[in-house]
Structure 1
């Protein structure tokens, strides 16, 4: 019997700076407008605020408005949904990704690599644990923005099938975004999704999107819409992934190591 495919919808859009209500409303409309059957919806990094260092003002509780909102849409659409937000947990602030399933169950990943160029480490605590989610027969590894630059942390030692990067990646370094997304797909023999925002943030930095999905050989399977706002839905083939891995066998030659 063929392995089950996974249908994924990615949302690339502008974010309203530090305005949760406006962003929740925007994503309400975009999610409700998805008419195609889908299993997973991917939102950008800090989708409710933009990439802000104003954690003390903008934070949410671990089981607060953000999680309630995600659980509402997961249940209403009968999909999983993922994205990150500013969360205060035990007197620390985290850039926390939620992966919420249709039944309301959820797992979290705290961004491991904080973006020191913007002083993120001065406002947020780094996560220590990698997350692998088992969902509909797929092993999924969700990560956040700057993590993309660190292949040792990302290296596929768990035989995951799908990498996800949610991001607010600035336009001035978009060549790195494009190259690294493709490289992570190739070296890990994994489908790889990158969802980035567009538009200028509150600090004046422009973002140009380039959200994309790559297959395990680094071929882009999404449309080159680049800087436009869009929602795109694609089917990921589990059988195709397994056949590619079996044919080439690159993961069988990988090094074994531990990350401290």
Structure 2
């Protein structure tokens, strides 16, 4: 991966559409992203919250995994999928890198207002950590997890925080303020991807360590370069102790 990969947030409607149609949309957008980019899709972008089709969604997820891995050739790509485990259905984040699945974990904080706890098993918060991908320390907060300060503590020192979301438009300001604050507080880049259905907040964006926001609610693809030097510069001139976390926070 180059020193300045392109960060790419995908933003498209997918509620009520068939799984195959959503996959075709995802594939078309991924093909527009440059080599060596880091791409994030909205939460459950292939199935949405298909509570009436959980088994079908899980089967589709299992079937499509090899194709998703292939789409990550020459890039890094993350999304969440409905999957079935021994404990029940989970909302699993998957990170693919250069054709291989390198990281997975289940959403740990389920959204009560969306009745998620009635359909999904929650993941373990201890699995929320920092992973190293070609020298970039990456962490993930899935949608509602963004609201928990304790989870912000767990990912201190990350260079890039991915936030796949299905965030409603009634709380659009919350999404935009929290993602911007996350970038500023962690002196890191935040790459957030949200759904674009009528009920969704959109707000997909790339936010710099300084808090500058690249956003376009009318676009299906938002891009901005990642610059590790910007992170180092912020942490050197405004030293809040993150340099120590960056050195010791990865797996």
TM-score scaled by length of structure 1: 0.85
Question: What is the CA–CA distance in structure 2 between the aligned matches of 1:73 and 1:253, rounded to whole Å?
Answer: 34
C-alpha distance after superposition, 1:134-170 (max 9, x if no partner):
1121010012100111121122555211111001101
How many correspondences in the alignment? 242
Shift in Å, 1:174: 0.3
| Residues 252 and 64 (structure 1), Cα distance of their counterparts in 2 relative to 1, 3 Å cut | closer
- Give yes or no for the alignment of 1:95 onto 2:91: yes
1:218 is aligned to 211
Shift in Å, 1:233: 2.2
Pick one of 180, 187, 190 that aligns with 2:188: 190
Shift in Å, 1:51: 2.8
2:12 is aligned to 13
5+ unaligned residues in a row in structure 1: which ranges? 201-205, 256-260
1:66-145 equivalence runs, <5 A: 66-75=64-73, 78-128=74-124, 129-145=127-143
Question: What is the CA–CA distance in structure 1 between the aligned matches of 2:142 and 2:153, rounded to whole Å?
Answer: 15
C-alpha distance after superposition, 1:1-46 (max 9, x if no partner):
xx92232111111114262111001112222233x34421110100
Q: Does the 8 Å contact 2:18/2:47 carry over to 1?
A: yes
Question: What is the CA–CA distance in structure 1 between the aligned matches of 2:136 and 2:76, rounded to whole Å?
Answer: 12
Question: What is the CA–CA distance in structure 2 between the aligned matches of 1:121 and 1:252, rounded to whole Å?
Answer: 34
Q: Does the 8 Å contact 1:108/1:131 carry over to 2?
A: no
Shift in Å, 1:254: 10
> SS of 1:152's equivalent?
helix
Question: What is the CA–CA distance in structure 2 between the aligned matches of 1:97 and 1:143, rounded to whole Å?
Answer: 9
Question: What is the CA–CA distance in structure 2 between the aligned matches of 1:62 and 1:25, rounded to whole Å?
Answer: 13
| Residues 157 and 47 (structure 1), Cα distance of their counterparts in 2 relative to 1, 3 Å cut | closer
5+ unaligned residues in a row in structure 2: which ranges? 246-251
Which structure dedicates a bigger proportion of its chain to helix?
Answer: 2
Q: Does the 8 Å contact 2:204/2:222 carry over to 1?
A: no
Shift in Å, 1:113: 0.6
User: Which piece of structure 1 moves more, 143-152 or 155-164?
Assistant: 155-164
TM-score scaled by length of structure 2: 0.88
- Give yes or no for the alignment of 1:243 onto 2:233: yes
1:43 is aligned to 41
- Give yes or no for the alignment of 1:233 onto 2:229: no
1:258 is aligned to none
Question: How well do the aligned residues superpose, as a CA RMSD in angstroms?
Answer: 2.3
